[in-house]
């Protein structure tokens, strides 16, 4: 099935509700399946790095947990460049301004020029995307925004063949600013900015790693249960999920038919991730 999917997803405005803050242990990989390891190189703009460091290495461990639980895929995060210099205009808070996510070519060209093709996947932690709320954000608001974007999906559940064409951009400054405003409004017990970030990174890597679609837009590819069976939670590939839901779970969850991946399953994230386990560099 041919199509082009916009994988730059927006986050809906928050709805404050009281939710269960249950925090489950990191889910185990599927039994009787050897773990494969993928290299994920990461980049950071200079201004983003100090704040990013407050979330690492836990960010890398928690993000990998969802992939490991679904299809025994581990992620080896490798620093490529943590000193990216802004070559664009800056906003009022000195964040580097990136173009609209509709300008896909700019992101593709930047990734192609910077990615090390010996590493299978790549993530760029950058500043402000121009279509997101600017600084300063009106006080005590929790606006919707685009937290990240990845390699465009030209065919559902397919992966770009060239490594330097696989990429994700995380608009880290925007995420940090808006999460702070959401916190000021009051989030449910157990909600953290860190969990919010983990979910965004796992979501974008889902697009990049296996060409996964948004579950609410293409439910035909997301017919499994969610979370670490038997503890369902929201599918990490759902978009336009309210912020209070996005920050409540410690580990991201991909939908799956059950604990065991099934060959030729194209109705769940687990099945698609299992299909693409062959990407191991």
- pLDDT of residue 149 exceeding 70, the answer is yes
Q: What is the sign, positive or negative, of the torsion defined by CA atoms of 124, 127, 130, 131?
A: positive
β-strands 2-5, 153-155 pairing: antiparallel
In total, how many domains does the chain have? 1
Cα separation values, 37 from 115, 118, 130, Å: 19, 14, 35
Stretch 2-10: mean pLDDT: 43
pLDDT of residue 190: 87
Q: What is the sign, positive or negative, of the torsion defined by CA atoms of 260, 264, 267, 270?
A: positive
Q: How far apart are CA 197 and CA 62, in angstroms?
A: 10
**232 vs 193, residue with greater confidence:** 193
pLDDT of residue 232: 78
Range in 4-18, 19-33, 106-120, 254-268 with the lowest mean pLDDT: 4-18
Collapsed DSSP state (helix, strand, coil) of residue 155: strand
Q: What is the mean pLDDT of the chain?
A: 89
Range of the structural domain that residue 274 is part of: 2-278
Please report, for the domain that includes residue 75, its CATH number.
Answer: 3.40.390.10
């Amino acid at each position: 099935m041919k199509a082009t999917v916009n994988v730059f997803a927006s986050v809906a405005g928050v709805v404050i509700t009281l939710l269960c803050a249950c925090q489950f242990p990191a889910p185990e990989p599927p039994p009787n399946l050897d773990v494969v390891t993928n290299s994920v190189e990461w980049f950071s703009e200079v201004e983003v790095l100090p704040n990013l460091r407050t979330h690492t290495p836990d960010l890398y461990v928690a993000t990998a947990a969802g992939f490991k639980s679904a299809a025994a895929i581990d992620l080896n995060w490798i620093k490529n460049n943590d000193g990216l210099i802004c070559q664009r205009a800056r906003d009022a808070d000195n964040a580097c301004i990136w173009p609209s996510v509709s300008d896909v070519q700019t992101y593709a060209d930047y990734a192609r020029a910077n990615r090390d093709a010996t590493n299978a996947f790549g993530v760029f932690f950058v500043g402000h995307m121009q279509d997101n709320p600017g600084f300063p954000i009106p006080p005590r608001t929790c606006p919707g925004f685009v937290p990240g974007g990845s390699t465009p999906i030209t065919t559902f559940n397919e992966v770009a063949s060239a490594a330097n064409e696989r990429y994700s951009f995380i608009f880290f400054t925007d995420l940090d600013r808006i999460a702070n405003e959401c916190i000021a409004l009051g989030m449910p017990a157990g909600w953290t900015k860190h969990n919010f970030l983990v979910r965004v990174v796992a979501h974008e890597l889902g697009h990049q790693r296996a060409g996964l679609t948004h579950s609410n837009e293409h439910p035909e590819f997301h017919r499994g249960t969610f979370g670490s069976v038997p503890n369902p939670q929201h599918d990490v590939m759902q978009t336009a999920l309210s912020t209070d839901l996005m920050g409540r779970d410690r580990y991201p969850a991909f939908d799956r038919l059950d604990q065991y991946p099934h060959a030729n399953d194209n109705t769940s994230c687990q099945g698609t991730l299992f299909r693409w386990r062959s990407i191991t560099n």
